[in-house]
Structure 1
Amino acid sequence: MMAILRIGIIGMVFLLLTLTLLPLQLLAIACNWPLMRRLPRWWHLLMCRIIGLQVRVRGAPAADRPLLLVANHASWKDIMVLGSAADVVFIAKSEVRQWPVFGWLARLQRSVFVAREQKRTTGHQISDVSTRLAAGEIVVLFAEGTTSDGNRVLPFKSSLFGAATAAIARAPGGCVHIQPVTIAYTGIHGMPIGRYHRPIAAWPGDVALGPHLLAVLREGALEVDVIFGEPVVFDAASDRKRTSRAMESEIRSTLARALRGRLHP
């Protein structure tokens, strides 16, 4: 009964919060007000607290622009976690647009939807992302292309790093800054998280969303670390694939240390 009551309360708060901020966000988008970048962060901050996500942020987004954040991806919760840490927009798979609730929220956050399997539209999609970067937006790329089991980092797909290349021509100073960000689910109810509870933290692509969502809402009290690494300068002389591999290696190493509790205070 307590679990049902908790889920019901979260659902009511979600509706109240979303419907309250919705008209203001739609107006901000229509008028191109800077508020359209800040409102989603407020929403994510409040929803993280309501759901029970304790987010610990280490470091911060680089001050330089354009800025592309490259992160690992374990769960739909990553959106709220990163969205609570900075004013960002996300690169999302095109099918997310059609998801119930999540797709609607992604559109309100002004996500850039891409169809990675449609090679003929890659140039247009990269142009959309590079336009956001050149405009000073902080863009988040989940470079694995899918969610993992939370214990590891899958191989990065380097194709959308091409957006950084496309943004160089319009960027002040002729460069884009790329910063690795590691998301690590490290605790539950104040205890280090282990393999038994990992399915609650992570959401691999072959797990149904509905039951997983209910399990997260029922359990709550998840601790997650967000670690911002050192940014690198990406210019016309940089190699896209080499940069992708360097980001992957950095995030894999940081994730391993975080899951073992070996992060520096």
Structure 2
Amino acid sequence: MVSWLRIALVLTCLTLATLALLPAQLVCLRFDLRLRRRIPRLWHRAACALLGLKVRVHGTLEGRRPLMLAANHASWKDILVLGSIADVVYIAKSEVRDWPVFGLLARLQASIFVVREERRKTGEQVGEIARRMADGEIVVLFPEGTTSDGNRLLEVKTSLFGAAATAAAQVPGGTVFVQPVSIAYTGLHGMAMGRYHRPIAAWPGDIELLPHLLGILKEGAFEIDVDFGEMIPYDASGNRKALSRRVEQRLRTMLGDRLRAR
């Protein structure tokens, strides 16, 4: 009974927070006001607090622009965690647009939806990413292309860095700054989270969303460590494969060190 009361309370508070911020965000989106980048951070902070996500930040967000964050991806909670730290915009698969609840939230945050299977749209999509980065927005890429079980970094897909490669040729100065960011789920109810319990926080693609979401709402009290790594400058003459290898190496090191520490 207590668990279901907690779920009802959290969902009610999230709904109220959404309704409170929604009118202002819709106006900002309609007129493309810069405030549209800041309002989602307020919502993400509220969501983290209500869900019991305690976020610890290590290192600092790169101050130079245009900036792309390349982060490992274990769960939809990664969106809340990064969104509570900085004013970011996400690169998402096109099908996310039509997901219940999450699709609406992604659209309200002005996410960049990409169709990876249609090459004819690649130029248009990359152009949108470049335009947003040139305008000072921080773009988040999950280069694994899918979610893991939270215990390891999956293979980083070189093709997903095509946006950075093309954007570098289109932004002022001709350089994109790519910063690796590791997200590690390290604690549950104040106890260190080991390999066995970490999949509770993660959301691999073969797990249905609703049961997983209810499980997270029942549990609460997750601890997440976010590490901002050393920035990698990347210009139009750079090698995309070399960039992906450097990002993968740094992500693997940061994530591994953080998980072993717990």
Please indicate, yes or no, whether the TM-score normalized by the shorter chain is above 0.5.
yes
Counterpart contact for 2:89–2:138, Cα < 8 Å = yes
- Post-superposition offset of 1:58: 1.0
Larger mean Cα displacement after TM superposition, 113-122 or 252-261: 113-122
For 1:206-246, what per-residue CA distance to the aligned partner results, in whole angstroms no more than 9, with x for missing partners? 00000000000000000001110010110122111110111
Unaligned runs of 5+ in 1: none
Partner of 2:104: 104
Aligned equivalents of 2:159, 2:133: Cα separation in 1: 16
1:74 matched to which residue of 2? 74
Contact 1:126 1:160 in 2 (8 A): no
Which amino acid letter does the alignment assign opposite residue 43 of structure 1?
Answer: W
Q: Offset at 1:171? A: 2.5
Partner of 1:231: 231
Indicate if the aligned counterparts of 2:74 and 2:202 stay in contact, CA closer than 8 A.
Answer: yes
Give the stretch that moved more between structures: 113-122 or 224-233: 113-122
Instruction: For 1:244 and 1:120, locate their aligned partners in 2 and report how far apart those are by CA, in whole Å.
Output: 23
Give secondary structure in 2 for the equivalent of 1:225: strand
Partner of 1:64: 64
1:143 Cα offset (Å)? 0.4
**Alignment correspondent of 1:35:** 35
What do residues 6-50 of structure 1 show as CA deviations (whole Å, max 9, x unaligned)?
A: 000001001100011000000011122211000000100111011
Matched-pair contact (CA < 8 Å) for 2:166–2:236? no
CA distance in 1, matches of 2:95, 2:170: 30
Match of 1:211 in 2: 211
Structure 2 unaligned residues grouped into runs of 5+: none
* CA distance in 1: counterparts of 2:195 and 2:151, whole angstroms: 9
- Per-residue CA deviation, residues 142-199 of structure 1 (Å, 9 max, x unaligned), is 0001000101111111223122222223323221100000000000011110233222
C-alpha distance in 2 between matches for 1:153 and 1:71: 10
Residues 63-111 of structure 1, C-alpha deviations (whole Å, 9 max, x = no match): 1110000000000000000000100000001111010000000000000
Q: Distance in 1 between matches of 2:96 and 2:176?
A: 27
Q: 1:57 touches 1:227 (CA, 8 Å); kept in 2? A: yes
**1:149 to 2:145 alignment:** no
Q: What TM-score, normalized by structure 1, do the two folds share?
A: 0.96
Whether 2:144 is the aligned partner of 1:118: answer no
> What is the aligned partner in structure 1 of residue 135 from structure 2?
135
Q: Counterparts of 1:89 and 1:134 in 2: how far apart (Å)?
A: 13
Matched-pair identity in %: 60
AA in 1 matched with 2:126: I
CA distance in 1, matches of 2:62, 2:47: 25
Other structure's SS at 1:41 match: helix
Q: Distance in 1 between matches of 2:60 and 2:104?
A: 28
The structure 1 segments of at least 4 consecutive aligned residues displaced by more than 6 Å after TM superposition are none
**TM-score after normalising by structure 2:** 0.97
Q: Shift of the alpha carbon at 1:120?
A: 2.8
Aligned to 1:250: 250
Instruction: Give the Cα separation in 2 of the matches to 1:237 and 1:217.
Output: 47
Distance 1:177 1:195 in 2: 33
RMSD between superposed Cα atoms in Å: 1.1
Q: Distance in 2 between matches of 1:198 and 1:117?
A: 32
State the distance in 1 between where 2:172 and 2:120 align.
29
Q: C-alpha distance in 2, partners of 1:248/1:169?
A: 23
Q: How many correspondences in the alignment? A: 262
